[in-house]
Structures are given as C-alpha cells and as structure tokens.
Amino acid sequence: MTSRRPDPVSPHSTEPVAARPPAPGVERAGSSPVTSGLARVMDDLVRIPGTRYRVGLDPVVGLVPVVGDALGTVVAAAVLAEAIRNRVPVHILFRMGWNYLVDAVLGVVPFVGDVADAAHKATSKNLRLVDRTIAEGRRVDTDARGYLLRAVGAVGLMLLVLIGMAGLALWGLLRLIGLF
C-alpha cells in the first residue's frame, strides 16, 4: 500500500502550507504587501457608490492640518524605502519624489487641494512605477559604486522638501488664524 501526500496547493488539502522564503539568488518581483496595503488604504480604500472611482484616507486625513501632511510623509518614506530596497534607479526615485511634491502642492489649498489629492493618488502611482521598473528589469546593481549613498541622499532631499512644505502649510495656517 502506498501512501500519497496531499498536494500543498490542492483545494482539498486541509493542512496549512507555510510560505517558503525565496531561494538564495532569486529576485523579488514587486512591492511588498505592506506598501501595497498602505497604497490601498491611502488611495483606494472605498468605492464611491454609483461610480468605478475609489478614494482612500489620504484626502480625508489631509483635511486635518499637519496630521495629514505628517502621515503622507511617513507613507512616502515607506514607499521610497521600498524602491531603494528593490534597487530602483535614482532617476526613478526623483520621478517618485516629483509625484509626492505635486501631491504636497495640491494639498496646500484647503478642500480644493484635498479633492485634487484624491484624483492624483501619488502613493499608488509611485508603487506602480516601482513595480513597472522592476518588471522591466531596470534595477541598479548593488555593487554599483555609490548607489546607496545617492539613493539615500535623493530620498533625504525629497523628504526635506516635503517636511518643508508641511512646515510652510502650518506657518500659513497659523498666520491665517492670527497666531503668527
């Protein structure tokens, strides 16, 4: 009598199958579930009834001064870190930074900016850019001299600009209400 092991991907198998880590030397393809989940929550969480359009928390949280900008900056940092981890070329990092800068500039205008922010969806746009770059095989070799230094410098510069935009928005708000 021969015993057969159940196929791990069989729909009839009742035993849980542990996820296997990729074999050494195997490249990842795409963004992580964490950053993909962040993009979904920030940009595409709920479908607007009667339409095919989706919105996330980004424009809603953007209504709260400073908090919305801070949360957006944290998510931007996570997506940019994901891009560096996947060795995306520095010029792609700058394109991602441009998307976030446009997002920040749109968000400066109260209410109108939040509606424009809902349409722009910088986080989802940047994750698609990372995934497309990886799928096309446009990665930088980790042995490339200075990649990490240039990439971290580019991300640091972009984050400083985003934080500066948030500071200017806060200063403008405080000035508008007469505290400055």
Model pLDDT for residues 5-57, shown as the tens digit of each residue: 444 443 343 333 333 343 333 344 566 788 788 888 888 888 889 988 888 88
* Length of the chain counted residue by residue: 180
pLDDT of residue 5: 42
d(CA 70, CA 83): 20
The residue behind tokens 């209504």 is 63
Task: Find the helix or strand (DSSP H, E) in which 6 lies.
Answer: none
Domain boundaries defined on the chain:
64-177
Model pLDDT for residues 141-176, shown as the tens digit of each residue: 766 668 888 888 887 887 788 778 778 877 887 888
Instruction: Work out the mean pLDDT of the chain and round it to a whole number.
Output: 75
pLDDT of residue 9: 41
Residue 108 burial by Cβ neighbours in a 10 Å radius (0-12, 13-18, 19+) = middle
Q: Which two tokens stand for residue 38?
A: 């962040």
Radius of gyration of the chain (CA): 21
Strand partners, 143: none
Task: Check if the beta carbon of residue 46 is closer than 8 Å to that of residue 118.
Answer: no
